[in-house]
Amino acid sequence: MGDANPMRTLRDYPRPSHEGYRNTIELPEGNNVVPLRSDTFWLVQNGCSFHGLRSEDPNQHLKDFLKLMDSLDLDGKNRERTRLCFFQFSLCDQASNWLERLPAGSISTWEDLTTRFFAQFFPPGRTAKRYPYVPTTQGSTF
């Protein structure tokens, strides 16, 4: 049995390492591998990118992203896997940083991803500010 924490020298510490790195999004297991084409990556990154700015509409971003993904005409299992795979490439700047700060492997379904995305970029308080309640006098009995 090997030592779980092998001895490291001072020379080892400043070296970058990919060991232990896991993506935030855990893709579903299975034999449902979808060929990823470079032009699709380009479309996702340039056609529907989201930066996480307050001026951006996360609902519209998700609609645009889904429109692009649905054009790939995939079956159910492949659709979920492809959405999970490509969504991270649609995020830039603050939004990308948000996704990278989540625990590794913490997202495993499309539902998980969209729930967390909306919780971060379209919280309930923002809805109240964007669509304030304005009482009307029509139909009032007062």
Give Cα separations from 69 to 37, 51, 65, 78, 97 (angstroms).
13, 19, 6, 11, 23
Q: Which two tokens stand for residue 76?
A: 């159910």
pLDDT band at 11, cuts 50/70/90?
A: confident
Please indicate, yes or no, if residue 37 is contained in any of the structural domains: no
At residue 113, does pLDDT exceed 90? yes
Examine residue 15 and state whether it is found in any structural domain, yes or no.
no
Lowest model confidence (mean pLDDT) among 74-83, 105-114, 131-140: 131-140
Q: Does the residue 23 lie in any domain?
A: no
pLDDT value, residue 142? 44
**pLDDT tens track for 84-102:** 888 999 999 999 999 999 9
Q: Is there a domain that residue 56 lies in? A: yes
- Assess if residue 94 is contained within a domain: yes
Q: Which of 27-36, 99-108, 115-124 has the lowest mean pLDDT?
A: 27-36
Question: Distance between CA atoms of 94 and 49, rounded to whole angstroms?
Answer: 12
Q: Which amino acid, 117? A: F
Residue 109 lies in a domain: yes
Give the residue numbers spanning the domain of 87: 43-122
Three-state secondary structure call for residue 37: coil
Per-residue pLDDT tens digits for 42-61? 777 777 899 999 889 999 99
If one counts the domains in the chain, the total is: 1
Tokens of 34: 């979808």
Q: Residue 133 falls within a domain, yes or no?
A: no
- Report pLDDT for 76: 65
In a domain, 102, yes or no: yes
